[in-house]
Amino acid sequence: MPSKNPKSSILVVDDDSTIVSFLEMALSFEGFNCLTATSGEEAVKLVQHFKPSLILLDISMPRMDGRDFCQWLHTNGHCGIPVVVMTAGQNAARTQEEVGAQDCLAKPFDLSELRSCVERWTRNT
């Protein structure tokens, strides 16, 4: 259940439910309202109904992957929402550039990296 006065709403999109649960717990503890999706299709529905302040996005997902989701964001007028790609690939920065994301977190990342990245993009919301 979303907190009453969250700092910001963050959409976490990853097909690994363990990662989604960990991020939801960590971000909720920090005072953020966490929306979660385990597929690109589910994330589309959440973006259409809520306007998250930030999207943490896995790139490698079945069906609608992170690249397709970013393309949908840009095509449908949601390019103002910052996107941080989370990828285990060796070239996280290149992937970030390819999809037009604002930042990247290379998996595995630690809690301090997550906190720093999220604060950077939600500071003024």
Instruction: Note the pTM of the prediction, 2 decimals.
Output: 0.89
Q: What's the CA gap between 16 and 61, in Å, rounded? A: 9
Query: Rounded to whole angstroms, how far apart are CA atoms 81 and 84?
Result: 10
> Under CATH, what is the fold of the domain 9-122?
Rossmann fold (3.40.50)
Give 79's contacts (C-beta < 8 A, 6+ positions apart). Answer: 73, 100
Is 96 exposed, middle or buried, given 0-12, 13-18 or 19+ CB atoms closer than 10 A?
Answer: buried
Residue 49, SS3? helix
- pLDDT tens by residue, 80-120: 899 999 988 677 778 888 888 899 998 888 999 999 999 99
Contact predicate 60/52, CB 8 Å: no
Locate the domains of the chain by residue range. Answer: 9-122
